[in-house]
Structure 1
Amino acid sequence: MPVPPTPTTGRRLCTALLAATLLLGAAGGATAATAAATADEAGWTAEPAAAGAAPARPYFYLAGPAGTVLEDRLALTNTSDRERTVTLRGADAYNTAAGALAVRPADLAAGGRRDGGVPGAGSWFSFGAATTVKVPPRTRAVVPFTVTLPPASLPGDHPAAVIAAADGREVGVRVHLRVGGPTLAALTVEDVSVRGRGARAVVAYTLVNRGNVALAPELALRAEGLFGEVPGRTARALPVELLPGQRVSLTEPWPGAPVLDDVDLTLTVTAPGAAPATATASARFVPWGVAARLGAGLCGLGGVVLAALLLVRGRRARGAATADGEPVPGENRAPEHELTGASR
């Protein structure tokens, strides 16, 4: 999961490494060996400590009623030939505007947030005297920590992460944290619009998690045009984990968009335990390139027709003028003179 960008190059490197590690944890299907191999490139790893013969865990899962203290353990492994000093902290997890998972930086984890919001689950973590841990070469250290759920904490999911930092590098381990009580799965889809045309058309929309549990949404697209149903998109899982109270802006490819049509779109989003959410939009598809060429052709044809009409009209006018100037038959005879006098 990417960490919000920081001014320094070192923090940017931390962001990239932390993103890779947290995405592995978010997927839940990555093996501990894969995560360890990725982190081992820097000489040390951080992961949930295994309980006896239990299989490795890709993330922490902690749950309990408000007002209780939860416990777990983090394993730090130094695979290098020199001592490592690792600093530990808890952090809130959230969705970026594009739907990716991210964690808040250290200066917002325990001391509040710049937006004035109440500190989140990241401030509930405590590592006691082990906030800074020195791990000898070729050694594995197990660090216990606690999560204290405030008595007034709301029921539902409180996404968080354990962040380990050493030598300018950060590793994040997901913590799925749930406070006991009533849960509500609810979402809405808003701001639907169509961008692009043809095979490059995409449907833009916004998803809002209005419940108190994380959601794994699925989306289906149905389209009705002037000539009947238009190919849409069957339901498919979206590559996003929508956290409680979060809003994300996404786009859905629509390769079946028509070339020429007036279409009504219906987006339906579902998630386990939540009622389906729908939103509609209209889109008009006009192939402007073809229309421009057709318009130019019609204008040219109209010009030819007009020229022909003007030519015919001119010929008729000249013919009428000629007819008006011709002498009338009989008027070309010599004038008759009256004769006087007696005949001989």
Structure 2
Amino acid sequence: MSTAVRVASACLAALLAALSAAVLGGAPPAAAAAVRAGAVTGTGSWSVQPAGTTGRPAFVMDSAPGSVVKDAVRVSNLSGAPLSFQVYGSDAYNTPRDGALAYRQAGEAQTGLGSWLTLGTNALVIPPGRAADIPFTLHVPADATPGSHVGGIVALNNAVEQAGEASGVDVGIQRAIAVRIQLTVEGPVTPGLAVRSVRVGHHPSGTPFAGARATLTYTVVNTGNAALRPTVSPRVDGLFGLRHGVIADRTLPLLLPGQSAEISADWPDAPGLDYLTASVRVTAPGLPATSAQSGRVVLSWPTLGAVAALLAVLAVALGWLRRKRSGRTGAVS
């Protein structure tokens, strides 16, 4: 998880930065994975999940525009000491890189589902070994658009954990966990996916005739109004299909309507010289597959230099043989 710098003269600013790392306002994909539904912190000292005994990993709801939904979230203190929390509603989004599901931090404007939530409390202290159920109300606007609306309830541990020292400055982190709320508003649901910006980056070896490393990059876009978990199947072929890049299929995190994810995959044994065709096929349950492709010539200058040198040597040798043969012919005549 990302870290935030805490300096004594700017404690509040550092705490907000730490919250950004914990709840992912612009944090990297690794941090996004750390704030997930029904998760337990890395220390195993506390957890957040839907209240009740049904074992729900997330809140999944269907509702009409203008309706009110009530439920409760449970925050559990699994440690041996009291823990203090801030709890708030948050909009979910996909991080641009890798599409990890993330949540807005408390200081950011909540314009979607996060703004529809009213919690019974936004601050609490939980004794050791105890849990607290916080009721909440979800007010669905009368003009809410049909389809998926995703957000969460975030619990932020107020404690700042010391993470060491960097360049003479104390470094601390705050940890947060979100439980996902996935609401489907009644009305026409039109799921859709697209693949865009398929491209191949080529990094040849410095050794002639050696293999190269290639990177396939593409963007998957949710063009509909339903949250989806796309599965992508990348493929890279050489000229006449002589080479095939083996890149494993992967299932992306929940991709929200209107959101996109840029994905990169490495091909470590790519050819040094070829014409490569990259294609990406994306599917999701209930949707026809869609795909996109692009092609490019890849060159290895060390290999081209070696080939040019060999051709030059061959040309010199052929010229020498012609002159020698011509000299023999003249002597015979």
- 2:319 and 2:271 map into 1 onto residues whose CA distance is 36
Match of 1:211 among 224, 230, 233: 224
Bigger shift: residues 290-299 or 305-314: 305-314
Give, in angstroms, the shift of residue 277 of structure 1.
1.6
Identity of aligned residues (%): 32
Whole-angstrom CA distance in 1 between matches of 2:300 and 2:59: 53
Q: For residues 137 and 259 of structure 1, do their structure 2 counterparts lie closer, same or farther at Cα, with a shift above 3 Å needed?
A: closer
Are 1:47 and 2:49 counterparts? yes
1:73 aligns with 2:64: no
How much does 1:5 deviate?
7.8
**Distance in 1 separating the partners of 2:95 and 2:87:** 23
CA distance in 2 between counterparts of 1:87 and 1:210 reads 35
Aligned to 2:199: 193
Aligned 1:80-229 pairs, distance under 5 A = 80=79, 82-98=81-97, 99-110=99-110, 119-128=111-120, 130-165=121-156, 166-168=158-160, 169=174, 170-196=176-202, 198=211, 200-222=213-235, 225-228=238-241
Number of positions where the alignment pairs a residue of Structure 1 with one of Structure 2: 297
Letter in 1 for 2:101: L
Q: Over residues 232-283 of structure 1, what are the superposed CA-to-partner deviations in whole Å (9 max), with x where a residue is unaligned?
A: 5588333332111012211233457445432433322111122322212112
**Match 1:239 to one of 245, 252, 266:** 252
* Displacement of 1:306: 5.4
Question: Normalising to structure 2: TM-score of the pair?
Answer: 0.74
Match of 1:211, SS? coil
Cα distance change on mapping 1:201 and 1:143 into 2, 3 Å: same
SS in 1 for 2:107: helix
Structure 1-normalised TM-score? 0.72
Q: Quote the RMSD (CA, aligned, Å).
A: 3.7
Maintained 8 Å contact 2:23/2:104: no
In 2, Cα distance between equivalents of 1:4 and 1:66 = 40
Residues 39, 45 of structure 1: 8 Å contact kept: no
Q: Would the alpha carbon gap of residues 287 and 202 (structure 1) be closer, same or farther in structure 2, given more than 3 Å must change? A: same
- Give the distance between the partners of 1:137 and 1:257, measured in 2 at CA: 55
Distance 1:148 1:229, change over 3 A: farther
Greater fraction of residues in helix? 1
Kindly state the Cα deviation for residue 174 of structure 1 after the two structures are TM-superposed. Answer: 1.6
Structure 1 residue 149, shift from structure 2 partner: 0.5
- Alpha-carbon contact 1:22-1:173 (below 8 Å) kept: no
Q: Verify the 8 A CA contact 1:4 1:102 in the aligned structure 2.
A: no
| Separation in 1, partners of 2:225, 2:310 | 60
Q: Secondary structure at the match of 2:249?
A: strand
Greater RCO, 1 or 2 (C-alpha within 8 Å, sep 6+): 2
Task: Letter of the 1:162 partner, please give it.
Answer: I
Q: Is the 8 A contact 1:3 1:102 kept in 2?
A: no
